[in-house]
Structure 1
């Protein structure tokens, strides 16, 4: 039941758009800070785009100076990451990412944005059945002058 409430909250936040401000009252009623709500909303937008293979939205959410560190794949910049994502999306199989509830920490970075630390599950179809793994990540989000957010650094590890 708790997971269902979380999914409903994420879905509602995702429909608010990229730059809709949240009131302090909304944050206090949910037990989350405004920053936590904003970053969870951005996480939802990012991985709704991923799960729907929406490369265009991903291209907007990723900073042009993106650095993506993967413990097995190494370092990729924006262009390399977008190419790898396109290749992944062109595969003919089910692909899904889900943030694991209760595993996310969000902390402000003064005069920059926020760091999001957590665990997520990725699933894909392999040999006719779903293959899922749980992994750790660190996302560095930058708040732009117009109030929108972009993802500038990704560290994906513990694969």
Structure 2
């Protein structure tokens, strides 16, 4: 009788035995990739501290953008940021639409090897005079791979860019 009560309590507080490990992994994976997304954009994009891209981006990065084309390699991506975004006459800021973020784990025989992260974001121009203007909104899909125990951004789809309605 005690064993049955224990099992019922275990199921109520921990969750069903089947699938419980994946659910916990998926929650922590969502949180981990959310933090990496924040570093990638809040530090790398918004502040032009490109060394963060050196840490988070895979050597074989492929970046597909619906307006500026394809970038293939970490070096080309970082160079494009340094010579483009970081040299604008305003400071660019990316803002994630929080409720849009989704993460889908990728397994190979129960072994986590990657994840798809998708969402929506807005981009702003911040001028020296204090103006803060919306420049575009877009959707993104990121493929993160677990490489040597570290999450690396490997593939990026940046699409559905639209300018604000005037």
- Using structure 1 for the length normalisation, give the TM-score: 0.73
The alpha carbon displacement at 1:131 in A equals: 3.2
Gaps of at least 5 residues in structure 2 are 1-19, 162-166
The alpha carbon displacement at 1:72 in A equals: 1.3
2:115 matches 1:114:
yes
Provide the aligned length of Structure 1 versus Structure 2: 130
| Partner of residue 67, structure 1 | 62
Q: Residue 143 of structure 1 is aligned with which of 138, 141, 146?
A: 146
| Partner of residue 154, structure 1 | 156
Q: CA RMSD in A?
A: 2.2
Which has the larger share of strand? 2
For residues 33-69 of structure 1, the C-alpha deviation after alignment (integer angstroms, 9 at most, x for no partner) is 1111111011011112221110111122111100000
Give structure 1 regions of 4+ aligned residues with deviation exceeding 6 angstroms: none
- Using structure 2 for the length normalisation, give the TM-score: 0.70
The alpha carbon displacement at 1:125 in A equals: 4.0
Between structure 1 and structure 2, the one with the greater Rg is: 2
| Partner of residue 17, structure 1 | none
Aligned to 1:34, the other structure's residue is in SS state: helix
For residues 56-108 of structure 1, the C-alpha deviation after alignment (integer angstroms, 9 at most, x for no partner) is 11122111100000011111012221111002112231210111110011000
Cα distance in 1, alignment partners of residues 56 and 140 from structure 2: 17
Gaps of at least 5 residues in structure 1 are 1-23
Greater relative CO (CA pairs within 8 A, separation 6+): 1
